[in-house]
Structure 1
Amino acid sequence: MVGTVPSAAAGRLILVGCGNMGYALLSGWLDSKALEPGNVHVVEPLDDLRERAARLGTKAHEGPASLPDQANLVVFALKPQAMVAEVPAYRRFAEQAVFVSIAAGITIRDLGALLGKARVIRAMPNTAAAIGKGSTIVFPGDGVQEISLNRVVSLFAVGGPVHKVDSEPLLDAATAISGSGPAYLFYFMECLAIAARELGLPGQLAMTLAKETVFGAGALAMQTESEPGQLRRQVTSAKGTTEAALSILTGGDELLCLIRRTTRAAFDRSKSLSANK
């Protein structure tokens, strides 16, 4: 794992796309003073999202035509399906800038075909980066200097731990686990709250207990050296309520099989998003 809280970074950054993930990253960078708002240019075609970015003090643009001629870092916070159409417009920055893409499945090779000879880093953050509790996986392409990689790591470390992998296909696996993973847990909270209401708990209390339970279990797992399996066994008394419940979840490894199918579906979809397919 790599990552430090950055000091203010010099240079100009272009953020392409300012939807939920882009805005979460941008807010964190500015709040932490990792970037000066006046050095950040945001490209966002949707009026409300562009205006939201401008309220943070950034220079907001409807499209790339009005961007300045110089940039040190260009971050693509676009959906994978938009990359082929949007990325080539930033080819003019290839000689000077390092490019970072957070688009799932779009490979270094894909990006090279869109940008020409460029220095590219792929990153896969998740939504918890909005509160500094996320995880980001990074993989640098050829030609990326250590100083550039360290700057990118420092920026993403604002949102939580950053992990560098040495093989690009591992990004697809990381996408299936940490990139998409928050949605799995949000759905688990939904299901837990529904079950709580069916057992008679009031609606708001049901949802609060579901959130607090998942949050508390995760915090405990992070703050102890014990593996999750050991923690599970510690709270499972023989012939108790937890054992009765776990007999359903673990019976025939049904939950494990479901999680395997779930993450495999995300993994396969990430691989299929490559622009070369």
Structure 2
Amino acid sequence: MTISLKGTLVLVGAGKMGGAMLEGWLKGGADPKKIAAFDPGPPEEVKALLDRHGVRLNPPVSSITDAEVVLVAVKPQVMEEVLPDVVPVGRSKPLILSVVAGKTIATFQKFFGGDAAVIRTIPNTPAAVGRGITAMAANPNVKPAQLELARALLSSIGEVVTVDDEAMIDAVTAVSGSGPAYVFYLTECLASAGEKMGLPSDLAMQLARATVAGSGELMRVSGQPAATLRQNVTSPKGTTYAALQILMAENGMQPLFDKAIEAATLRARELAK
């Protein structure tokens, strides 16, 4: 999706997530002269990216009078300390786009005003390789053109979906925000089980990693439902069938995931208070 900017894109936080997005914006045709980044110590690779494209780093806040969007990509624990310094760019009534975990729309309105156009999002770590998925929830002040701009900016790191109710972000966090950790743990468990059946540990992990990564790519490319793909690989009374009898039992994976996602959702709600 082509990124066309009328005013300045202010990136607050040029760490791993902010850096990944910046790289995606530049690849998407964004004018580097219309981007300003604020970060006291960006990683070396991000600093090199900024230098290579001539993106402004930590310019005087007063020099930015045409902010079109302010994307906040800092850690939640430092946000309250960082935001006051960039609030003056809000004079031009930009879109406030947050990728800060656990911070509500109301939190940003506290800084930028009750009439601020705010979109809260939750991306996930595969964004680092352009395979993330980001859910976004907008307040009523967000105009259709701002929503489209947000979608274009977020598409630089993967898929984008919209939820109508900000409260759904907590469940999104539990499923896709925290989800990569579950997949990594599944890989660990698969490898460990292989070891118990006599495989060398390095081979078991190689098999598990390739299987999880390859299955994910097959699911993405084929577009078929996960259930269909599972059925396609399950021969009647075969080895996969035998394993699934355990995994799909009444006390198998589904109730465990139900409990896990519920726990993560409740924790997300607690952290957002």
Structure 1-normalised TM-score? 0.86
Structure scoring higher RCO (CA < 8 A, sep ≥ 6) equals: 1
1:188-239 C-alpha deviation (Å, 9 max, x unpaired): 1122223333433344433332222112222333344543223323322233
Q: Does 1:37 align with 2:32?
A: yes
- Residue matched to 2:21: 25
1: CA distance, partners of 2:28 / 2:205: 32
- Residue matched to 1:163: 161
Kindly report which structure 2 residues correspond to 1:253-264, keeping only aligned pairs within 5 A, or say none.
253-264=251-262
Q: Is the 8 A contact 2:15 2:46 kept in 1?
A: no
1: CA distance, partners of 2:230 / 2:266: 30
Q: Is the 8 A contact 1:51 1:60 kept in 2?
A: no
Deviation at 1:11, TM superposition (A): 2.7
- What is the identity, as a one-letter code, of the residue corresponding to 2:149? R
1:8-66 C-alpha deviation (Å, 9 max, x unpaired): 43432221122322222222222332x23333222223x3x2543321123223xx865
- Residue matched to 2:89: 93
Change over 3 Å in CA distance of 1:143–1:202 after alignment to 2: same
1: CA distance, partners of 2:264 / 2:186: 17
**Bigger Cα displacement from structure 2, 200-209 vs 150-159:** 200-209
Q: Is the 8 A contact 2:62 2:88 kept in 1?
A: no
Secondary structure of the structure 2 residue equivalent to 1:239: coil
- What is the identity, as a one-letter code, of the residue corresponding to 2:63? P
2: CA distance, partners of 1:256 / 1:24: 34
Report how many residues are paired: 266
- Name stretches of at least 5 consecutive residues in structure 1 with no aligned partner: none
Deviation at 1:169, TM superposition (A): 0.9
2: CA distance, partners of 1:113 / 1:130: 30
Kindly report which structure 2 residues correspond to 1:40-59, keeping only aligned pairs within 5 A, or say none.
40-45=35-40, 47=41, 49-57=42-50, 58-59=55-56
- What is the identity, as a one-letter code, of the residue corresponding to 1:81? Q
How large is the RMSD of aligned CA atoms in angstroms?
Answer: 2.3
2: CA distance, partners of 1:130 / 1:187: 19
Change over 3 Å in CA distance of 1:53–1:230 after alignment to 2: closer
Identity %: 39
**Bigger Cα displacement from structure 2, 126-135 vs 175-184:** 126-135
2: CA distance, partners of 1:72 / 1:21: 20
Kindly report which structure 2 residues correspond to 1:198-209, keeping only aligned pairs within 5 A, or say none.
198-209=196-207
Q: Is the 8 A contact 2:28 2:156 kept in 1?
A: yes
- Residue matched to 2:187: 189
1: CA distance, partners of 2:57 / 2:195: 45
Structure 2-normalised TM-score? 0.87
Q: Is the 8 A contact 2:9 2:70 kept in 1?
A: yes
